[in-house]
Amino acid sequence: MPGYHTSRDFESELRELRAHLLAMGARCERSVQLSLKAFIEGSAELIAEVKLLDRHIDRDEMESDELALRVLALRQPVAHDLRLLATALKLVTDLERIGDEAVNIAERAEEAGDGPKLVPHPHLRQMADLTQQMLRDALDAFVEADLARAERVRLADDAVDELYAKTLSETMAFMAQNPSRIPVAMGVINVAKYLERIADHATNIAEEVIFMVAGHDVRHESQRAPGMGLNDI
Amino acid sequence: MKLGIRGRLFVLSLGVIAVAVAIMNAYVSTELRSAIEERMAHDIAIRARLVGHQVETAPAGTDWQAYAEELGRQALARATLVAADGTVVGDSEVARDALASLENHGTRPEIVGALQNGLGEATRTSATIHHELLYVAVLVTPPSQVRVVRLAQSLAPIDTAVARAHHLMLVGTIFALALAATLTSIGSHFVAKAIRTLRTTAVAMLDDLSVRTRMRGTDEVGALAEALDQLADNLNRTVQKLGNERDRLAGILETMAEGVLLTDRTGRVVMANASLRIMVGATGQLVGKEPIEAIRSDELAEMIDSVTRSQKPRTGEVDLIGIVPRHVLVRAAPLTVRGNLGVVAVLSDVTDLRRLESMRRDFVANVSHELRTPIAAIRAAAETLEGGAKSDPVAASDFIGMISRHAERLHHLVEDLLELSRIEAQKLDLKPTTVEVAEFIEHMIGLYALSASRREVLLLAGRCPDGLTFATDRRALEQILSNLVDNAIKYAAPGASVILSATERGDDVIIAVADTGPGIAAKHLPRLFERFYRVDRGRSRDVGGTGLGLSIVKHLTEALGGHVTVESVPGQGSVFTVFFPRNRATALSEVAPQPRSDNAGLPH
């Protein structure tokens, strides 16, 4: 009986998967936080830690994938359990990408070295705070199966995009006036770009959580015929 | 079969009565009957012998029928006179006419017995009167016409007696049964009532342990009631003790500064105290979750997991991400009281501690650095002088000037450090006196007029309400304002102005030192009052700063119960504002509870 399982084993496997995903998420949050701190304060130690965390996150991705696929193959889950596993498979990809973006930020910090720093742009700071908040909220929404919170994350994405546009235009103006500081300003633009991507991944996570909890797909809603959903899973 | 205590007692007594009645019945039927029979037989035998003797004395030619009737009357029995051949010659119960029709009695067992042994007995139902009769016959000697005299008596009276005895017993039994029923009913009623009360009380105790049976007695029920009360007392005490203990523990857990997290055997959170919730910024329910769900820290989750697996305590520091990132020291240990109960993790917030540690490290490094620079300069100058420069008067005076300048800087530095440590140790001899603010500002302007004009800085008194006074330590106030005014003049470019003004707002007296100097970039503002923090290192040294002035201002202001703020716009100038609570006396007494005589006061 290949599909047979005692529910306790299955339950503990799902719990393990959830714990695994959350540990990975926690590492991503930490990685983002440390990389931003490294970019603002400049610390070789922090940069090294971000890179170490990224290796751990990469390992997490493989382990979580394996765990999810094994459960999927052996237990053949249905309904909510199946949605959790499908979500897990997508979640790890987003989390892994967030880890990579954190490394990118740390690398910009590395390039800047101990040289003169651009006074951290207020909009960049806001972006950093908001992005981290989004990531935290997205993972909290996953833990609590909280649709409202996931919805908030989706809404916050627009604010991040706005801040990104502002940071971009203001930094461009700064570059035009201070050509000698273009390398430093480029760092700011890049970090803003990475933050914007992290916010996108956080939004993806929130959407995946909505799918997991409510069973309907909210991605690319505008391109979809009304009434189309994945409730049948 | 379900019987109450009453039913059981009744059945029991019924049983006892039944057995007693059965035994008595058996006795009456056999023993009583045989005893009466025996007695009757004995009695009738005696009568038969007596009658026999009488017959012997009867004269010849007697009318035997009449004689028999007479004998029957006297002996109260049926008397029968039988001849040797067995013919009946007289019978008290048979009419004379019927005598001839009587059959020969010679074969009757009692007659046969009498003829052979002199006495014969038999019991049988009489063919004549259809009764069970006891027959006793005796031989008459010497022989006459009557050879045997027989007496017969009915056994019916025995049956009657036995029947009467049975009747009596029946009545007695019924009476005994009624009595038994009543007595068991009454007896069991009391017992059952007591037991019902006990039961009701016991059931009531389930909800309320203060209920007592209040039944006393020396019997078993009383003892049971007492035992029940004692049990309740005991339970009550135990419950109260446990409750108190639990409340105490809960109180300790909730009020302690450390966060406490408890997981069960399956690794789920079963308890988290208030401090922990604050520490991790928890918004939802923590109980019932996995540690990683409750607190999103992979490091903490790994620690708890490893303690669960290894059953060995672990200590480590982890960073908690959140709106307010925290650095916490975690001590996780297995709870192994009576088997594996899970893991308890105690989290201490060491964010401030670590920051203080790093500040102290920075401070030591800063002080060393600040001391090293002038010492190196002095050493270099001294060595140069020794190396021959002293013979060159111009160079010698340059180097001596250098030594003197750096020695002066060392002096200032050491003075400032001492001052700062005195303020921090709160060893200030603060004597509140009434300070008239307008006059005080004029005084400050007077003190710095010369140095201001030297640097071509305009030092002015701004707005100040007339008659604004407050109680404070004047020398401390002077030192605060001196530092601020001195800084403003030092860093201002020629042509700039420095304005001292004062105002009052609510309970605060506010004194501001505004300048139109270069201003300070916003990023420096949060750290401006830290020791050795310098906006521009080179510039600060040029003007002879020690990097401690603003730190002294901050600490001294706080010692006076006030606080200091700074606002600045780069390129336009800065405003340093000191706020003092008007209610100075209490503010001062809080800071310096008693004046110290061993303190030299504020040096200048």
pLDDT tens, position by position, B71-105: 888 888 888 888 888 888 888 888 888 877 878 88
The answer to whether the CB of B527 falls within 8 A of the CB of B533 is yes
Are the C-beta atoms of residues B592 and B530 closer than 8 Å to each other?
no
Name the average pLDDT for chain A: 81
Task: Look at B111 and A221; give whichever has higher pLDDT.
Answer: B111
Q: Is the peptide bond before B142 cis (omega within 30 degrees of 0)?
A: yes
Give the separation between CA A104 and CA B108, rounded to whole angstroms. 145
User: pLDDT band for position B242 (50/70/90)?
Assistant: very high
Is the Cβ pair A26, B296 closer than 8 Å? yes
User: Is B408 near chain A, with CB under 8 Å?
Assistant: no
* Cα–Cα distance for residue pair B182/B174, rounded to 1 Å: 12
Measure in Å the smallest separation between the Cα of B300 and chain A Cα atoms. 10
Residues within 8 A of A (CB atoms), B 520-549 only? 521-523
Q: Residue B590: its pLDDT value, please?
A: 43
Q: Is B339 helix (H, G, I), strand (E, B) or coil?
A: coil
d(CA B57, CA B141): 10
Instruction: Compare CB distances from A144 to B284, B292, B321 and report the shortest one's residue.
Output: B284
Cβ contacts below 8 Å, chain A against chain B, sum to 52
**B33-57 average pLDDT score:** 84
Measure the CA–CA gap between B508 and B522, rounded to whole angstroms. Answer: 26
pLDDT of residue A221: 63
Give the count of beta carbons closer than 10 Å to the beta carbon of residue B212: 16
The minimal CB distance from B293 to the residues A22, A30, A33 is found for: A22
Torsion sign over Cα B317, B320, B325, B326:
negative
pLDDT score of A174: 82
DSSP secondary structure string for all residues of B411-476: HHHHHHHHHHHHHHTT-----EEEEEHHHHHHHHHHHHHHHHHHTT-EEEE----TT-EEEEEHHH
B523 contact residues in A (CB cutoff 8 A): 119-120
Q: Give dist(CA A147, CA A211) in Å, integer.
A: 9
CB contact under 8 A, A26 and B323: no
Q: Is B467 on the interface with A (CB under 8 A)?
A: no
The answer to whether A190 contacts chain B (CB < 8 Å) is no
Q: Given B293, B298, B523, which is nearest A143 (Cβ)?
A: B293
**Which range (B51-60, B209-218, B378-387, B591-600) has the least confidence?**
B591-600
Q: Residue B166 and residue A29: Cα distance in Å, rounded?
A: 106
Q: Do A22 and B322 touch (CB under 8 A)?
A: no
Kindly tell me the burial class for residue B425, based on how many C-beta atoms sit within 10 Å of its own C-beta (0-12, 13-18, 19 or more). exposed
Q: pTM above the 0.80 mark? A: no
Pick the closest to residue B526 from B557, B561, B566, B563 (CA basis): B566
Provide the pLDDT for residue B31. 84
**Residue of A25, A120, A133 with shortest CB distance to B296:** A25
Beta carbons of A22 and B292 less than 8 Å apart: yes
A202 inside 8 A of chain B by CB: no
Residue B214, both tokens: 């209040």
What tokens appear for B492 in the block?
A: 């201002």
In this predicted model, what pLDDT tens digit does every residue of B449-477 receive, in sequence order?
A: 888 888 888 888 888 888 888 888 888 88
What proportion of chain A, given as a percentage, has pLDDT over 90?
A: 6
Chain A stretch 18-47, residues whose beta carbon is closer than 8 A to a beta carbon of chain B: 18-19, 22-27, 29-30, 33
Tell which A residues from 102 to 141 touch B, by Cβ distance under 8 Å.
Answer: 119-120, 132-133, 136, 139-140
Mean local confidence (pLDDT), B564-568: 88
Q: In which band, very low, low, confident or very high, does the pLDDT at B577 lie, cut at 50, 70 and 90?
A: very high
pLDDT single digits (tens) B479-498: 899 889 988 888 888 888 89
Measuring CA to CA, how many Å separate B507 from each of B470, B478, B561, B581?
A: 11, 21, 12, 6
Cα–Cα distance measured from residue A28 to residue A103, given in angstroms and rounded to the nearest whole number: 10
Closest residue of B to A16, CA-based? B290
B426 φ/ψ sector (left φ>0, alpha ψ -120 to 50, else beta):
left
Gap from A216 CA to chain B (nearest CA, Å): 24
Task: Kindly list the residues from chain A whose CB atom is less than 8 angstroms away from the CB atom of residue B521.
Answer: 119
Q: Tell me the C-alpha distance between A225 and B344, whole Å.
A: 53
Instruction: Point out which residues pair with B131 in neighbouring strands.
Output: none
Determine the average pLDDT of the residues in A74-99.
85
Residue numbers in B near A143 (CB within 8 A): 284, 289, 293, 296
Residues A101-133 pLDDT 10s: 988 888 887 777 655 455 557 788 888 888 988
Residue B604 has pLDDT above 50, yes or no: no
Type of residue at B178: A
What is the pLDDT at residue B583?
66
> Using the beta-carbon criterion (under 8 Å), do B325 and A33 form an inter-chain contact?
yes
pLDDT at B576: 92
Residues of B with CB below 8 A from A140's CB?
283, 296
Residues 6+ apart with CB under 8 A from B543: B490, B491
Mutate to test the interface with B, among A20, A22, A34 (most CBs of B within 10 A): A22
Q: What is the mean pLDDT of residues B5-9?
A: 74
Distance CA(B139)–CA(B143), nearest Å, equals 9
| Local confidence band at B68 (pLDDT 50, 70, 90 cut-offs) | confident
Query: Using an 8 Å Cβ cutoff, are A106 and A198 in contact?
Result: no
Tell me if B293 and A33 make a contact (CB, 8 A cut-off).
no
Q: Give the contacts of B427 (CB within 8 A, at least 6 positions apart).
A: B596, B599
DSSP 8-state secondary structure symbol assigned to residue A63: H
pLDDT of B532 over the 80 cut:
no
Distance, CA of B340 to CA of B307 (rounded, Å): 11
Cα–Cα dist B11/B435, whole Å? 108
Q: Between these two residues, B191 and A135, which has the higher pLDDT value?
A: A135
B264 vs A: CB within 8 A = no
**Cα–Cα distance measured from residue A150 to residue A109, given in angstroms and rounded to the nearest whole number:** 31
Average pLDDT over residues A24-49: 84
Using the predicted structure, report yes or no on whether residue A229 has a pLDDT greater than 60: no
Are the Cβ atoms of B325 and A136 closer than 8 angstroms?
Answer: no
CA distance B503 to B509: 6
Say whether pLDDT at A5 is over 60: no
Assess contact for B525 and B568: CB atoms under 8 A.
Answer: yes
Task: Give the residue-averaged pLDDT of B157-174.
Answer: 84
Q: Which two tokens stand for residue A199?
A: 């916010």
How far are the Cα atoms of B43, B88, B104, B114, B538 from residue B121, in angstroms, in the given order? 12, 18, 18, 8, 162
Strand ranges (E), B462-524: 469-473, 497-505, 508-515
Q: Check whether B600 has a pLDDT greater than 70.
A: no
Task: Decide: B56 and B142 in contact? Cβ < 8 Å.
Answer: yes
Residue B84, classed as helix, strand or coil, is: coil
Report the residue from A23, A132, A143 with minimal CB separation from B298: A23
Whether A29 and B321 lie within 8 Å, measured CB to CB: yes
Q: Does B289 touch chain A (CB under 8 A)?
A: yes
Contact B292 A19 (CB under 8 A): yes
The answer to whether the CB of B120 falls within 8 A of the CB of B139 is no
B538 pLDDT band, cuts 50/70/90, is low
Phi, psi of A125 (to 5 degrees): -60, -45
Kindly report the average pLDDT of chain B as a whole number: 82
The vertex-B488 CA angle with B485 and B493, nearest 5°, equals 140
Distance from CA of B603 to the nearest CA of A (A): 39
Q: How far apart are CA B330 and CA B134, in angstroms?
A: 116
Supply the DSSP string of A172-194, one letter for each residue: HHHHHH-GGGHHHHHHHHHHHHH
Contacts of A41 in chain B (CB under 8 A): none
Spatial distance between the Cα atoms of A15 and B292, rounded to a whole number of angstroms:
11
Please report residues of B whose CB lies closer than 8 A to that of A120. 523
CA atoms within 13 A on the CB side of B396: 8
Sequence-distant (6+) residues with CB within 8 A of B356 are: none
Cβ B302–A26 below 8 Å, yes or no? no
Distance of CA B528 to the CA centre of its chain: 55
Residue B315 — φ and ψ, nearest 5°? -130, 140
CB count within 10 Å of CB A61 equals: 18
Confidence (pLDDT) at B129 = 66
